[in-house]
Chain A
């Protein structure tokens, strides 16, 4: 186990290093004229040169790379051209927002996904199964940005159930910073008005992402349950005369849970990705929207920062999944 842990950690760092290098290539090597793209074609020569110096683009590639690596190790990505603030500072504000949204969506996905998946497996090929399969396939096929638009049209405009977007209403100031997650911070500050308002703003994007992730969790739960229900020991349990409920929940469900836990971890990675589109539509001030805006305005430092952070978070969730997997299933030996 220890050997596996070391090996897996080593791989994690190799991957992070690779990710950072790929990002360097994408930001420094491939674009023919990054400064020209930012300033426009007709920018005066001295302005271009000044900017190249500022971004360090006039140095040889090797030096650019070492400068770039040093920056990342110190978690210093420089200043964002768009917001005129330190990129690391910006991300400290935006990342918790995405984290909060992702956790919120994941809770929705788990609460609905697992029971529906179990019912689907138990009632295989019957009506509940067909309904849940179509429902979850729809979730998997759903373009997140379009569903977000529909939610705004129906839930905000027609039913007035959710606010149009953002993270807090305009008259409400954020709670005192502890974790950066407004729901938790407002509870710590015992300010229930902020709590309710933040919750209200999470519903729209949370439901969009939650539904899509629920679909994945539901499918994995279903197929994992089906597999377990076919096992010999389930037959034995039934032959022993145990009640069907006991067989399903005590014997089958527990063993079916391992792939589900894996899927939940993978879901977390997907959520980071889905947040890019959903946050953009809902105007939710998270890392995803920050990334999109930096991409669209060719804000090089912010692009590098947000891509690196998202990739690290993604790789970290994969690492946790792998370790959990090894810890949960005693049969797996490395």
Chain B
């Protein structure tokens, strides 16, 4: 009896969301058809696994120093060699995946809500609120991103947490602008007028009618930015304004390995490959998702 009920519920849920389900199915189909996107997705999934299971995968403790085994070249014991404090580079890179992903997720977790909130308010209410928010966005976008992040990072003091705040502060205008643009076009549609005629409050309309429609555009944009966030964070760490030792951060590893470039090339080189591969994979995925979400391009693929 119980399972029958469940089936019924499931069926009705499927029916109710049939358009979404078919949309997701189609997207998955399109992702599968684009080999580059698939490669990007696979690399990212591997990266996430590596980050989660780092303690199991990593052959050594990333912080454990062996001063008698400094700067040893890649060998069977240390596949990618050891750094200036005798730490296993491979293990540090493996743990670094978690650091990079954490930075990216936290930056987006700050920026998406912040950008959406400001964009919705600006777009929905218009007038002077809109003017103020959008001019603020213009000002923040007038700085080259890395330079602003550096300035904020320096003002707050160098640390991983402040790097995330700094990068987040440089990126919110992108999301605010997008959310505003979406809101402007959605709020003119008839169903919003109908909602208003039915007596819905502004807050209710914003949350239940406009917000869900903004989401997909913003998610696509966020996917495109993921690689960029990781790259900027690595640059900040490289300059000494981000993660501090002994964090196994890729940018920091390159920065401290820089002195050994000529004679122990593996120390700064391998972490750089990790950054390149990760950013590359996110860019592949971002490109693929943008192509899929753009109906213009979607048709063009046929």
Interfacial residues, chain A to chain B (CB-CB below 8 A): 11, 14-16, 18-19, 21-23, 26-27, 30-31, 133-134, 137-138, 140-146, 149-150, 152-153, 157, 226, 230, 269-270, 272-273, 276-277, 280-281, 291-292, 295-296, 298, 303, 307, 310-311, 314-315, 318
Contact = CB atoms under 8 A, between A and B. Distances in A.
Interface stretch (B69-77, B110-118, B143-151, B211-219): B143-151
A307 B136 CA distance: 18
B161 interface: no
Nearest to B153: A295
B144 A140 contact: no
B231 interface: yes
Nearest to B238: A145
Contact of B227 (A15, A141, A150, A315): A141
A133 B36 contact: yes
A144 B138 contact: no
A160 to B, nearest CB: 13
B144 A314 contact: yes
B155 interface: yes
B261 A145 contact: no
B272 A276 contact: no
B221 interface: no
Interface stretch (B3-11, B101-109, B177-185, B278-286): B278-286
Place the interface of chain B in its size category.
35 or more
Interface string B8-35: 0000000000000000000000000000
B1 interface: no
A149 B138 contact: no
Contact of A296 (B240, B254, B268, B275): B240
B139 A150 contact: no
Contact of B142 (A150, A280, A303, A311): A311
Given A143-B275, A145-B235, A149-B261, 13 more contacts: A15-B135, A18-B139, A22-B139, A26-B151, A30-B155, A137-B284, A141-B279, A143-B234, A144-B235, A149-B272, A150-B269, A226-B300, A295-B241
A146 B300 CA distance: 37
Contacts of A14: 135, 138-139
B256 interface: no
Contact of B146 (A141, A273, A296): A273
B287 A137 contact: yes
A140 B142 CA distance: 21
B261 A19 contact: no
Nearest to A17: B139
B78 interface: no
Contacts of A30: 155-156
A15 B272 CA distance: 36
B272 A143 contact: yes
Interface string B137-169: 011101111110011101110000000000000
B268 A143 contact: no
B45 interface: no
Given A144-B235, A149-B254, A153-B262, A276 B146 contact: yes
Nearest to A144: B235
A23 B151 contact: yes
A137 B283 contact: yes
B85 interface: no
Interface of B: 36, 135-136, 138-140, 142-147, 150-152, 154-156, 227, 231, 234-235, 238-241, 251, 254, 258, 261-262, 265, 268-269, 272, 275-276, 279-280, 282-284, 287, 300
Contacts of A157: 262
15 contacts: A14-B135, A14-B138, A133-B36, A137-B284, A138-B280, A140-B283, A141-B282, A153-B265, A153-B269, A272-B144, A276-B144, A276-B239, A307-B143, A307-B147, A311-B143
B147 A311 contact: yes
B3 to A, nearest CB: 48
B38 to A, nearest CB: 14
A216 to B, nearest CB: 12
Contacts of A314: 142-144
A134 B287 CA distance: 12
Contacts of B283: 137, 140-141
A271 to B, nearest CB: 9
A149 B270 CA distance: 12
A37 to B, nearest CB: 8
A318 B141 CA distance: 10
Contacts of B272: 143, 146, 149-150
A146 B147 contact: no
